[in-house]
Structure 1
C-alpha cells in the first residue's frame, strides 16, 4: 500500500499548533467536532499526558524545538499529580513524562516519570496482586477500593519503563504481577476484554467481572478491548519479551479483526444491539491502528505479521480518509481533527466526560503515533 502518510501528519501538526494557542497552560481533554474548541483540564487528569506525548513525538521533526519547549513546560506542571491516589495517573506520566525521556532525552521528564512510578509501586497490594484504582481514580468512588479495570494496565507500562531506567528489579516484578493479574482477570477465553472487576480484599480472588462504561454488564466496550491489546503489546516490548503477553495481545487483536465492522472503525460498544445505527469510536480504533503496527513487527510468523500490518494500514487509512478533518476552504472545521470519538455516552459518567462525538486527545495521540510508525518516523519498540 503506497500512501503519503506525511500529509495527514502535517494536518495533525497544524491542529497541534491551533490546540497550543487555545489551551495555554491547561491540558486538552476533548473538543467540539464542529468548532474545534477544547474542553480542558487544569491538572492533566488522566488524558493530559497524551497531549504531551504528541508534543514529544512532534519535537523530533523539523522545527520541533517549539513543540519540545511546550512539552517540557507541560510536563513540569504535572508535578502535583505525582502523589495522586489513582492508577490512571500512569497514563499521564507514561505518555507525558516517560516519552520525554525516551524520545527527547529530557532529564526533567525522566525524574517526574520515575517519581510517579515509585509512588505507584508503593501502592501495590500484594493480596490483590495489583495496584488498585485508588480513591482519586476517575470512577474510584463508584466501584470500590478493591476494584480493578483493564485500563489500569497503563500502570505496567510506566513501571516497566521505570524499572529499566532505574535498574529496579522490584519495580519490574510489581509491573509484571500487575500485568498478569489484570490480564488474567479481564481477558476472556475468546480474546475479548471485559472492563472492570471487584476483588476479594483478603484473597484477591475475583468476585465479579463487568463492563462499567459500555452498553451492558457483559458487553465488549471498544475502548476496553483496545486498552487490553495496546498495553499487552507494549508490555511485551518493554517488559522483557514475555510470550504470555504477546499471546494476550494477539488474541485480543484477532478478536478485534473478527468483530470490527468492514470499514475498520469500531462501534462504541461491540454489543450494542442498535448497530450499525450507533456511535462509532474513532479513539478506540486509533488505539488499535497503533497496536496492529507494533504487533506486525513481533508476531511469530510471517502470515500474522502481514495480517497485522495490513490491519494497521487499513485502520489508519479509514480514520484519515473519513474522520480526520480535511484542509478544505468549504469545510468550516479546523483541519487535522480526529472526530467521532466516543468518550462516554452513559448518563452516569463524569460531566466532563459525557460526550459521544468529539475529538478526543487520546484518540488523536494514537493516530499520530500510528502515522509516525507508518511513515518510518518511529520504530515499534521505541515507545
Structure 2
C-alpha cells in the first residue's frame, strides 16, 4: 500500500486532469475519453454519467478552491438540468453527485434545488405493481428494453432518495427508497451473492418473467459493473441507514463475493465469466466503484469490524494508480487519466458506449473520491 504522500501526488495528478477537462467542456459533459491523447467524447446534457464530472468539481473545489470555483460546478450542473424530470431511474446517480454533494459539502442552494427536483421525480416514478422504480422510458437502455424492466443499475436512485428524505423529513421518500432497494436486491442478487444485471417484470403483477444482462457477457455471467453497483449502494445504504441491518448484510455479502473472485492484482475483468480471460478487457471503473464501496462499508461497520474493508480499499486504490497516467516527460499523454475502463464489450449497446480501454468519467470520479478520503480531505462516511 502507498503512503499518504503518494496518495497526495496521485490526487494532484487527477486535479490536473479535472482542470483540463473543465477547460475542454465548454458545452456538454464528459462521457469517456481516449487514453491515447485524453480527448473526451461529450454528451449535451450529461447522459447518465455527467453528474460524476460535476461531483469531481465539487471535490476539486474542496481540495483547491482557488483553482476550482463554485461557478465551475454550477456551470457544469446547469447543463444537466433538462434531465432532472426525465423518466429515468439513472438520474439518481447524476443528481446525487452533481446536486446532493454540493449541498452536503457547501450548503449550496443551487445544487440542493436541482437534486430535490430529481429526487421528487424519482419518488413519483415508483410503481406499486412492480414494487420498485422501473428504468423509465427515458433511460439510456429504453430502446432495448420494455416498460416493466428493472436492473441493479437502478439502485442509483437510492442515494438521492435517502438524502432527500433526510432533508425534507419526507416519509414517502423514505418508504419508496426502502421498497425499491429491497425489491431490486431480491431480484438481482443471486443465492451465491453474485449479481445479475437486468430483469423483465410482468407489468400487472410484478412477477419476474426473466433475468438477463444487456451489458455483460451472458444472461448467466456476472458483469463487473453490475456487482459494482450492488456493492456501492448497499454499502451506502448501510452507511446512511445504520439501524437497518438488511443493507449491511447485503453489503457484506456482495462485497465478499467480489473479494473472493477478483483477480489477484485486484483489477476486475469487464465480466467475471468471459471465457477469454485473461485475454480480454479489464475494467478500472468497476474496480474504482469496488474501492469506494469498501470505504463506505468500512465507515458503516466502524474501526474494528470495518478495518479489513479499509485495507482492501487501500490495496485496490494502490493497484488502480498503476493505470493512472504519470507526470513524466517521456509520456506525452495528459497526466491523471485513469486508463483501462470498459463501458462494455457487448455489441447491442449504443454507439456512444462502445468503448474499451478508455477513461470513464464515473471511474475517475470514484477513484478521486477514494483519494479524497485516503488523504484526509474528506471524512469517511460524509458522502
Q: What is the TM-score when the length of structure 2 is the normalising length?
A: 0.97
Residue 374 of structure 1 corresponds to: 374
Q: Give 5+ residue unaligned stretches, structure 1.
A: none
Residue 306 of structure 2 corresponds to: 305
Residue 78 of structure 2 corresponds to: 76
**SS, match of residue 39 in structure 1:** strand
Provide the rounded CA distance (Å) in 2 between the counterparts of 1:366 and 1:328: 24
Provide the rounded CA distance (Å) in 2 between the counterparts of 1:266 and 1:289: 11
Q: Give 5+ residue unaligned stretches, structure 2.
A: none
Residue 138 of structure 1 corresponds to: 140
Matching residue within 14, 25, 38 for 1:12: 14
Mapped contact 2:284–2:320 kept (Cα < 8 A): yes
Provide the rounded CA distance (Å) in 1 between the counterparts of 2:306 and 2:242: 20
Q: How many residues are treated as equivalent by the alignment?
A: 381
Provide the rounded CA distance (Å) in 2 between the counterparts of 1:254 and 1:317: 19
Q: Deviations over 1:45-91 (max 9, x none)?
A: 10000000011111112335634221012222322111111111111
Question: Offset of 1:237 from its aligned partner?
Answer: 2.1
Distance 1:107 1:54, change over 3 A: same
What pairs with 1:1-383 in structure 2 (closer than 5 Å)? Answer: 1=1, 3=3, 4=5, 5-64=7-66, 66-239=68-241, 241-299=243-301, 302=304, 304-320=305-321, 322-383=322-383
**SS, match of residue 144 in structure 2:** helix
**SS, match of residue 29 in structure 1:** strand
Provide the rounded CA distance (Å) in 2 between the counterparts of 1:190 and 1:300: 26
**SS, match of residue 208 in structure 1:** strand
Provide the rounded CA distance (Å) in 2 between the counterparts of 1:155 and 1:239: 15
Question: Offset of 1:311 from its aligned partner?
Answer: 0.8
Q: What is the TM-score when the length of structure 1 is the normalising length?
A: 0.97
Distance 1:279 1:315, change over 3 A: same
